[in-house]
Structure 1
Amino acid sequence: MTLHGHGTTLLVIAKEPRPGRVKTRLTPPYSPEEAAELAEASLADTLGTVLAAPAHRRVLVLAGQPGSWLPAGIEVIPQCAGGLDERLAAAFGACTGPALLVGMDTPQITPELLAPALGPDAWQDCDAWFGPACDGGFWALGLAEPDPRLLRGVPMSRSDTGALQRARLTGAGLRVHDLPRLRDVDTADDAGEVAAAAPDSRFAATLTRLAAAAGHPGQGGGR
């Protein structure tokens, strides 16, 4: 499936929030069911931001099946098989025209945060947008001309993944602009920090509810 059109396509790559399939590093202290609740809340916050952002198209690249958490106005296409680099490459390969991809692990993102990469001047003197993550990965990647070769073969889920991906972009001669560094949600400590950074989010509310019910770590990682 090819995504056509003028303007920037905003992509979200995500897994269906099913227990045992998502946010497994949250277990323990959270049960697989609780981890899936947090994943669903994070995804819902992310999709809410996507709907409010000034994008031309909004597409969820999904591993699994959509559920009641999917709002209207979001197109869904399936993820391809293979490693994360292949799945990211295929998501960009489905686009014609500029595309910005984010994950489901940063519920603290806002339309204002994404605006530089989506506005009318986003691609002036810029070929790529890069959002570094605190763990050494990246939470956002935008390409003026989506080329799957810019992602294939980049080692994923490593502390140097972000540096390697950004080097791939600059090595190809692209002019790269950076978005702010963000923490994504992998561990319980991450969850607390991210909830504290976005206290009005669905993610923060879910974390607070789970913490109150079972004494799990709350916002800021405290008890």
Structure 2
Amino acid sequence: MTATVLIMAKAPEPGRVKTRLCPPLTQHEAAAVAAAALTDTLTAAGATPGVRRVLALSGDLDQALGATMIRSALAGFTVIAQRGVGLAERIVNAHLDSGPGPIFQVGMDTPQLTSELIMDAIRELQGGDGPDAVLGPAVDGGWWGLGLRHAEQVAPVGQVRMSTRDTGSDTLAALRAGGLRIGLLPALRDVDTIDDAAAVAAAAPGSRFADLVGTLTGPAAR
């Protein structure tokens, strides 16, 4: 069965995304960073062969910075609206709306993501004796990637409190309590603070994200 790469994202509207980058960035600059991160993530998924591609979007792309750039990177994607109250419920619904599986979900906070990382996760899920789910831990205690053999296996995630330092371990525990065998992916750093942005830019040289962060935080930026 064809695997699906699912990207969960907010439209990069100023004041709505990456607000922890402010200061030192302005809300407009933070939204531009988010647009670059999202575009790089879409590009990585677009370069992954033999998969379906779905963007589950919150917000209005017409009001976003970089909308033309993002729309160009969306070639070959199906775009669906996020639905639900709270991030955990929206994640569950996005998997169910994108099923039947296998599904590998990422967000827009890891622009260093590569098609190779995506393919490694999908191979784990498609292997006959592989795990039921894969989880990519984030260095801040959250997670950057979640893969499931079957969409309905996402149900335990709905009970996890998101955006805490324990979200990664809590998600792992919830999936295991649901009877799933888990494979762990490499840990990545996601972009929340300006220090995160600089570190991730260094890990993704030549990307849109790295180029933009360099212009905003380099010696000549301010």
How does the TM-score come out when normalised to structure 1? 0.90
Change in CA separation of 1:149 and 1:112 when aligned onto 2, cut-off 3 Å: same
Shift of 1:28: 0.5
Contact 1:150–1:169, Cα closer than 8 Å, also in 2: yes
Correspondence for 1:108: 112
Correspondence for 1:144: 149
- Report the more deviating stretch, 148-157 or 84-93: 148-157
Amino acid at match of 1:34: E
Query: How large is the RMSD of aligned CA atoms in angstroms?
Result: 1.4
Unmatched runs of 5 consecutive residues or more in structure 2: 62-66
| Structure 1 residue 200 corresponds to structure 2 residue 195 | no
| Structure 1 residue 80 corresponds to structure 2 residue 86 | no
Contact 1:55–1:118, Cα closer than 8 Å, also in 2: no
- Report the more deviating stretch, 56-65 or 12-21: 56-65
- Report the more deviating stretch, 110-119 or 173-182: 110-119
Shift of 1:113: 1.4
| Structure 1 residue 59 corresponds to structure 2 residue 54 | yes
Contact 1:19–1:33, Cα closer than 8 Å, also in 2: yes
Shift of 1:107: 0.2
Equivalent-residue separation in structure 1 for 2:22 and 2:202 (angstroms): 20
After superposition, the C-alpha distances for 1:16-65 in whole angstroms (9 at most, x for unaligned) are: 00100000000011000000000000000000000011342100000023
- Where 2:159 maps in the other structure, the secondary structure is coil
Unmatched runs of 5 consecutive residues or more in structure 1: 1-5, 216-223
Equivalent-residue separation in structure 2 for 1:121 and 1:20 (angstroms): 37
Contact 1:11–1:61, Cα closer than 8 Å, also in 2: yes
- Where 1:152 maps in the other structure, the secondary structure is helix
Change in CA separation of 1:53 and 1:166 when aligned onto 2, cut-off 3 Å: same
Contact 2:41–2:108, Cα closer than 8 Å, also in 1: yes
- Where 1:151 maps in the other structure, the secondary structure is helix
- Where 2:100 maps in the other structure, the secondary structure is coil
How does the TM-score come out when normalised to structure 2? 0.90
- Where 2:168 maps in the other structure, the secondary structure is helix
Contact 1:133–1:183, Cα closer than 8 Å, also in 2: yes
Q: How many residues align?
A: 210
Change in CA separation of 1:132 and 1:121 when aligned onto 2, cut-off 3 Å: closer
Equivalent-residue separation in structure 2 for 1:205 and 1:21 (angstroms): 22
Could you list the runs of 4 or more consecutive aligned residues of structure 1 that deviate by over 4 angstroms after TM superposition? Answer: none
| Structure 1 residue 155 corresponds to structure 2 residue 161 | yes
- Report the more deviating stretch, 117-126 or 91-100: 117-126
- Where 1:100 maps in the other structure, the secondary structure is strand
After superposition, the C-alpha distances for 1:200-220 in whole angstroms (9 at most, x for unaligned) are: 1110000112234533xxxxx
Equivalent-residue separation in structure 2 for 1:11 and 1:102 (angstroms): 6
Match of 1:173 among 160, 175, 179: 179
Contact 2:125–2:134, Cα closer than 8 Å, also in 1: no
Equivalent-residue separation in structure 1 for 2:126 and 2:101 (angstroms): 13
- Report the more deviating stretch, 188-197 or 51-60: 51-60
Amino acid at match of 2:57: L
